Amino acid sequence: MTRPRPVRALLAGLATLAASAGLALGAGGTAHAATPLPAHVFAPYFEAYNGDSPAALSQASGAAYLTMAFLQADKKGSCTPYWNGDTSTPVASSVFGTDFTTIRSRGGDVIPSLGGYGADNAGTEIADSCTNVDSIAAAYEKIITTYDVSRLDMDVEDNSLTNTAGIDRRNQAIRKVQDWAAANGRSVQFSYTLPTTTTGLADSGLAVLRSAKNAGAKVDVVNIMTFDYYDGATHHMATDTETAASGLHNQLAGLYPNLSDTQLWNMVGVTEMPGVDDYGPAETFTTADATAVYDWAVSKGINTLSFWALQRDNGGCPGGSASDTCSGIAQDTWYFSHSFAPFTGGTTTPPANDFSVSLSPATASVDPGAGATAAVRTSVTSGSAQSVDLAVSGAPSGVTASLSPSSVTAGGTSTLTVKTAAGTAPGSYPLTVTAAAGSTRHSATFTLTVNGSGGTTTLANGDFESGSLTPWTCDTGAAVVSSPAHGGSHALKTAPSASQTGQCAQSLTLKPNTSYTLSGWVQGPYAYLGVSGGATASSWTSSSSWSKLTVPFTTGASGTVTVYVHGWYAQGAVYADDLNVS
C-alpha cells in the first residue's frame, strides 16, 4: 500500500535496538490448527501504527475480519519483524493479542500483512532485509504461532518488486513454512498483495509469482491493489477493477493451467481505496463503485475483498485529498465496510437464474489499420433465460470495440467488432466483454494482438532545455528553472503541497515485453523517479545535492508506460534533470 507515508515509515525505522537473527516457534513452541478463513472474505486493512484498537474498530465498522498492516524490520539487515518496524511493538501476545482474541470471540479473525510501501521502499521488508531463508521462515512461523493465524499476507511493491534476491528468499521461506505447517497439521495460507495495471499485473508482479512457482511455494491468493494507477488516464474505478482482475485471472490461468475457472477466480483478491486515492481526484472510488464491485465480486466468487484502510471509511474531509483518516468524499461513516461486509462467508451462492458468456474466437492478430470480429455467445446455466446487457472495455488508444446487438436474451449471440487505426501501437491487448443481468455479471476476454515491432517513442524534453514543461503533464506549480541545474541551463522544479505530490509525468510507447532503464538526477526531500501503467518500478532519495536514480523496468504486452517524477506531500520542492530511458 502507499501508506504509511515515507516520513512515518522512516521515523519508525529510527529505532536502534538490536534484534536477534533467529526466532522461536512462538508461545510454547507448539503448533496447532488455527481456524481457516472463509472461502470468501472481506478483510479491510487496519492501520496498526496509529494507536487504534483493532477489536473496537472491527466492532464499530462491522468488519469482522481485518488485514493488519504492517510488519517489517526496524532497520536494514535485521531478521526480526515488528509492527510498523517499531521495536516497542514486537510480535508478542502482549501486542494486539487481546484484541485478536476479542475479534475471534465475535466470529472474525485477522491476517497479518508484511511489507507495505514504506518497508518496500526503505529495505526493511523482512525478506529484503534478512538474507537468511531459515531466519525469514522462522519469523513467519513466530507470527503464525504467536497470534494463531491461518493466513499471512505479503505486500510487495516499489523496490521489493525489483529485488530479485529478496523475492526468491521470500518464496523459499514460504515453501519452508508450508512444509512445517503440513508436518504439524496446521492450515496456513499465503497471499501476495501486488500493484496492478488496469489490465492485470505488470511483468514485475508476474515475476513474483513465477519465483513462487519455481520455489514450489503455493500462492493461495493474489490480491491486486486496484488504485494508484498513476497513468494520467480517466478512470472508472469499478470498471478498472473488473478489467484488472480479469487480466489477472488470465495470467493465473497461464501459470496454473490445471486449475478450473472457479479455482482461478478463487485465487483473486481485490483491494480498493475508498474515495480519493494518492494520485488525486482523477482516481476516485465512489459509493456507487462499491456497489458495482461488490456485485461483481459475488458473481465471480473471488477470494478476498478489501480496501485501504478501515480508518479512512468516513466522510470527515469531503472534497479533500488522500488521507489516513478520511476518504475525501461525502459518505456515511462505515459506508464501504457495510457495503462489503456481506461478502464474507456464504454470500456467494449462485443466483437462481444464471447464464454464461464465451467468445469465438477468443484471440485475433491484425496489422495496424485492420480489424477483427468474434461471436459473443451466451447460454442459460440455471433457471430461466434473462435479458443480458453486453459491454466491452479495455480498448487502448487507436482501437475501437463495439457489440451488436448490445443486449440479448440468454442463449442469444452478439458480434464483437474490433477496429485498429493505422497508428495503433503494436502489442497484445486484452478486451473484456461483460454480460450483466441485474446484479449477476460474467465476463470473457478477447485478446487482440496488433502486429509490428513498435517502440518508436522516446522520452522527450528530459533535460528541460526547451525552457518549457511540454510534453510533461504536471501538478499545479511545477516549473522549469535555471538554477539549480545538473546539466545545461535548465531543470524541473516540482511543487508538492499538503494535497499533491508535485508530480510531472509523460507517457511513452516502448517495445512490448522489453527491459529498459529509467535514469535521472534529482535533489530535494523525498525525490521520486519511476514508471507506472504497463510497468511498475520506482526509486527515491532525500538529498540536498544532485543524486542519480536508476530504475530498471520491463514493459508489458502493450509497451506503454508513464514516466514520472515527484516529491511528497508538504515535504518541499524536488528538482529533476537529465532524465533518460534507455
* 326-374 per-position pLDDT tens digit: 999 999 999 999 999 999 985 444 566 878 888 898 888 888 889 999 9
Q: Under the phi-then-psi rule, with left for phi > 0, alpha for psi from -120 to 50, and beta for the rest, what region is 572?
A: left
Supply the pLDDT for residue 124: 96
- How far is Cα 324 from Cα 335, in angstroms, rounded to an integer? 16
3-class secondary structure, 204: helix
For residue 535, the model assigns a pLDDT of 84
**Could you say which architecture CATH assigns to the domain 354-450?**
Sandwich (2.60)
**CA-based nearest residue to 463, from 578, 580, 566:** 578
Specify the pLDDT at position 16: 29
Rounded to the nearest 5 degrees, what angle is found at the Cα of 266, between the Cα atoms of 265 and 271? 85
The DSSP code sequence of 405-420 is SSEEETT-EEEEEEEE
Do the beta carbons of residue 87 and residue 95 sit within 8 Å? no
Q: Which three cell numbers stand for residue 218?
A: 503455493
CATH 3.20.20.80-classified regions of the chain: 6-343
Q: Where in the chain is the domain with CATH 2.60.120.260?
A: 473-581
Q: How many residues does the chain have?
A: 582
Closest to 43 measured CA to CA, from 119, 98, 111, 101: 111
- What is residue 556's predicted lDDT score, i.e. its pLDDT? 80
Q: What is the pTM of this model?
A: 0.62
Instruction: Report residues of the chain scoring pLDDT below 70.
Output: 1-33, 346-352, 439, 453-457
Residue-by-residue DSSP string for 329-351: S---TTHHHHHHGGGSSSTTPPP
Residue that the C-alpha cell 493465473 belongs to: 252
Per-residue pLDDT, 1: 64
Cβ pair 197, 229 in contact under 8 A: yes
Amino acid at 128: D
- 473-516 pLDDT per residue, tens: 898 899 999 999 999 999 999 989 877 889 999 988 888 888 88
Residue 369, sorted as left (phi over 0), alpha (psi -120 to 50) or beta, turns out to be left
- Tell which residue, 96, 173, 101, 94, has the closest CA to residue 130: 173
Hey, which residues does 537 pair with through a beta bridge? 531
| Assigned CATH topology for domain 473-581 | Jelly Rolls (2.60.120)
Other CB atoms within a 10 A radius of the CB of residue 139 amount to 27
- The CATH number assigned to the domain with range 6-343 reads 3.20.20.80
pLDDT value, residue 257 = 87
By DSSP bridging, strand 221-225 and strand 189-195 are: parallel
Let me know: does 132 contact 88? Beta carbons within 8 Å.
no
Asked if 191 contacts 170 with a C-beta cutoff of 8 angstroms, the reply is no
Sign of CA dihedral 451, 452, 455, 457: negative
